[in-house]
Every structure is written in structure tokens, then in C-alpha cells.
Amino acid sequence: MLAVVQVQALKPAARPFKVFDSAGLYLLVQPSGALLWRFRYRCCGIERKLSLGSFPQVTLSQARRKREGPHGATS
């Protein structure tokens, strides 16, 4: 699992790359320096991705809560 200090220390590269947290949650690091929260999950056997916002507007704990959904259960 990621720590806030690790997220803050991320530096952009020439190509976008992913840094995984847990249960499908990851941070997409863009070459422009943007840090974007994404959630990857499966529904009816089809992989889907959901955008949860950008860091620091959406913190690590907020992204984890959004991943859990309104009922607090992960897929």
C-alpha cells in the first residue's frame, strides 16, 4: 500500500506510468506531472476503469474511500 510521503515524492517520466495501492486503486503519473487516481475493477467479466480525481485535490484516504463506494465494500 502507498503512503502519502511516497505519493508526494513521485516524479514524472517521459511516458505515463502507474503506481499501485491496493484492490485496484492506482495513481497514474503523467509526463506533465499530473497525478491521477484511477480504480480498475471487473463487472460481468469486463474490465472497467473509473477516474477518482487528481492528487492533491483528492487525497490518498479520500481515493480509498471512493474506491469502497457508498456501501464500504470493494469488488
Q: What is the CATH number of the domain that holds 29?
A: 3.30.160.390
For residue 31, how far is the Cα from the chain centroid?
16
Q: How many domains does the chain have?
A: 1
Looking at the domain assignment, is residue 46 inside a domain? yes
Looking at the domain assignment, is residue 44 inside a domain? yes
Looking at the domain assignment, is residue 42 inside a domain? yes
Mean pLDDT of all residues in 37-57 = 95
Looking at the domain assignment, is residue 50 inside a domain? yes
Looking at the domain assignment, is residue 20 inside a domain? yes
The residue type at 64: R
pLDDT reading at 46 higher than 90: yes
pLDDT reading at 74 higher than 70: no
Looking at the domain assignment, is residue 10 inside a domain? no
Domain of residue 57 covers 16-65
Mean pLDDT of all residues in 47-75 = 87
| Global pTM value | 0.88
Q: What is the pLDDT of residue 60?
A: 96
Backbone angles phi, psi at 32, to 5 degrees: -75, -10
